[in-house]
Amino acid sequence: MIASQIRSMWLVFKHLFRKNVTVQYPDQKPYLSPRYRGRIVLTRDPNGDERCVACNLCAVACPPDCISLQKTEDADGRWRPEYFRINFSRCIMCGLCEDACPTYAIQLTPDFEMCEYDRQNMVYEKEDLLINGPGKYHDYSFYQIAGKAIAGKDKGEAQNESEPINVKSLNL
């Protein structure tokens, strides 16, 4: 019994010469991978237009219900959120909104330092969320791929899309 106690004391003592594992945070920043789930942003497509089509899938997927948005439609036929609001005091950074998003609009970033003295300041509006870039997907543009017709791009003109075929015109 005594031998095992002395052995465990020796083993603990040897740790004196080990390297500390602590990352002293404000002085030393830990490496966060690009896929780290931190602050949420709304991205733009390569043309600089908002990617979000206000489909509400993120709001549905969100476990703590912290996303709130309202759809509106532009004159050119694009869907767009009228407002887009994330309450970060509720957000649990789970990334389910990012998974749910069909247009790569909503993305999580490696930034997590968003402390506020006032709880109300944790509510981010669309202007706070929007960034000026495409985020993790540089070339993706929803309206150039999807079949939805907008002004300047009719049906069948999207990438990898053929002209629509009128089924009734097929004389079989």
Q: Is 66 annotated as a binding residue?
A: no
Compute the least distance from the CB of residue 24 to other proteins, in Å: 7
Please say whether the beta carbons of 122 and 132 come within 8 A. Answer: no
* Number of residues binding to other proteins, judged by CB under 8 A: 14
Check if the beta carbon of residue 81 is closer than 8 Å to that of residue 59: no
Question: CB under 8 A: which stretch of 4-12, 60-68, 69-77, 123-131 binds other proteins?
Answer: 4-12
To the nearest whole angstrom, how small is the minimum distance from the Cβ of residue 19 to other proteins?
Answer: 7
Does residue 12 interact with other proteins by CB under 8 A?
yes
14-73 residues near other proteins, rule: CB under 8 A: 15-16, 18-22, 24
Handedness of CA 53, 57, 63, 65 (dihedral sign): positive
Give least dist CB 20 to other proteins, A.
5
Q: Footprint of other proteins on residues 106-135 (CB under 8 A)? A: none
Nearer to other proteins, 24 or 47 (CB): 24
Q: Contact residues for other proteins (CB under 8 A)?
A: 5, 8-9, 11-13, 15-16, 18-22, 24
Annotated binding residues, written as ranges, equal: 52, 55, 58, 62, 91, 94, 97, 101
